[in-house]
């Protein structure tokens, strides 16, 4: 997909039975209509459903967060640079982190996964 290291598949609230592939740059205009989103990297996959408020990571157990009210999808791409302070000649190392999660509408409550650039490592963060 035009240089993207992953594939993003969404369903919308109006048409939840018809998944479609989208670009990261298209997500903002679709944000309030997205029902579910799946990020795929090689053999890794991260799935979130905003109606059921659930996550599935790499096809494992479904994790539900029913104490959240109505939600919309939370997504971000963050770039990080790491500098070696003991070596002036070293180039900074750039990595990208991906966030996918749930954002409770009308509040500051959020629950999201931080996913490494290769999609293999992930960790939870929350503002509940």
Q: What is the pTM of this model?
A: 0.79
- Asked if residues 44 and 55 have their Cβ atoms less than 8 Å apart, the reply is no
**Torsion from C-alpha of 44, 50, 52, 53, nearest 10 degrees:** 80
pLDDT tens-digit map of 23-81: 989 999 999 999 999 988 877 889 999 999 999 998 888 999 989 999 999 998 888 77
Q: Which pLDDT score is estimated for 1?
A: 41
Q: Which pLDDT score is estimated for 3?
A: 52
What mean pLDDT do residues 109-115 have?
A: 90
Examine the pLDDT at 106 and tell me if it is beyond 90. yes
Domain segments of the chain: what residues?
7-127
Alpha-carbon distance of 121 to 113, in angstroms, equals 10
pLDDT tens-digit map of 24-39: 899 999 999 999 999 8
């Amino acid at each position: 997909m035009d240089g993207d290291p992953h594939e993003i598949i969404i369903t919308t609230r109006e048409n939840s039975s018809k998944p479609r592939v989208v670009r990261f740059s298209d997500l903002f205009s679709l944000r309030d209509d997205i029902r579910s989103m799946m990020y795929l990297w090689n053999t890794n996959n991260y799935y979130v459903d905003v109606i059921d408020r659930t996550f599935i990571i790499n096809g494992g157990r479904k994790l539900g967060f029913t104490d959240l009210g109505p939600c919309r999808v939370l997504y971000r791409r963050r770039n990080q640079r790491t500098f070696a302070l003991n070596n002036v000649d070293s180039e900074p190392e750039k990595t990208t982190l991906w966030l996918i999660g749930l954002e409770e509408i009308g509040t500051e409550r959020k629950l999201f996964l931080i996913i490494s650039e290769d999609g293999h490592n992930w960790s939870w963060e929350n503002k509940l």
